[in-house]
């Protein structure tokens, strides 16, 4: 199973919003195989609590503006780890320390990465 076209459209919108607000180390994982409830995880790092909140706000606003509705959002107030659930896409915006501590890339290492470098200017080399 691979991520749906709708998930990729949501992902592109979220990537552009996260990149525009200073999100770094963006990683997209196709989790459609092991998870029946979502297709893609987008992991983003913010360099401060304020940056985490700003990234989460901008991603949410961009996805809503594109016609998507959030199913759930958590953690934004603390600015350490915000989770935005848009059904086919779940966005995790981490503070640097939480990103290292929870290591979602390590937990989901068997899931294929989705190249995002063309949109953000990041290298797609791992």
pLDDT 10s digits, 2-45: 888 899 999 999 999 999 999 999 999 999 989 888 999 999 99
Nearest CA to 26 out of 49, 3, 55 is that of 55
Averaged pLDDT score across all residues of the chain: 90
Stretch 53-71: mean pLDDT, rounded?
Answer: 96
Local confidence band at 1 (pLDDT 50, 70, 90 cut-offs) = low
In whole angstroms, give the CA distance from residue 105 to residue 42.
10
pLDDT at residue 124, as a whole number: 42
pLDDT at residue 126, as a whole number: 39
In whole angstroms, give the CA distance from residue 103 to residue 81.
12
Give the tens place of pLDDT for each residue, 88-104: 999 999 999 999 999 99
> Does any domain span residue 73?
yes
List the domain range (segments joined by +) for residue 14: 5-118
Question: What CATH number should be reported for the domain holding residue 102?
Answer: 3.30.460.10
pLDDT at residue 78, as a whole number: 82
> Does any domain span residue 109?
yes
| Residue ranges in the chain assigned as alpha helix (H) | 5-20, 49-65, 96-102, 104-107, 117-120
> Does any domain span residue 123?
no
pLDDT above 90 coverage of the chain, percent: 80
Structurally, the chain folds into a number of domains equal to: 1
């Amino acid at each position: 199973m691979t991520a749906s076209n709708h998930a990729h459209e949501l992902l592109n919108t979220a990537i552009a919003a996260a990149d525009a607000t200073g999100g770094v180390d963006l990683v997209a994982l196709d989790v459609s195989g092991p998870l029946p409830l979502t297709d893609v995880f987008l992991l983003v790092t913010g360099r401060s609590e304020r940056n985490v909140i700003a990234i989460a706000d901008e991603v949410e606003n961009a996805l809503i503006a594109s016609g998507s509705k959030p199913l759930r959002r958590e953690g934004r107030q603390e600015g350490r780890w915000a989770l935005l659930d848009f059904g086919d896409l779940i966005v995790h915006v981490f503070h640097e320390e939480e990103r290292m501590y929870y290591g979602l890339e390590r937990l989901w290492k068997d899931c294929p990465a989705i190249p995002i470098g063309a949109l953000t200017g990041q290298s797609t080399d791992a």
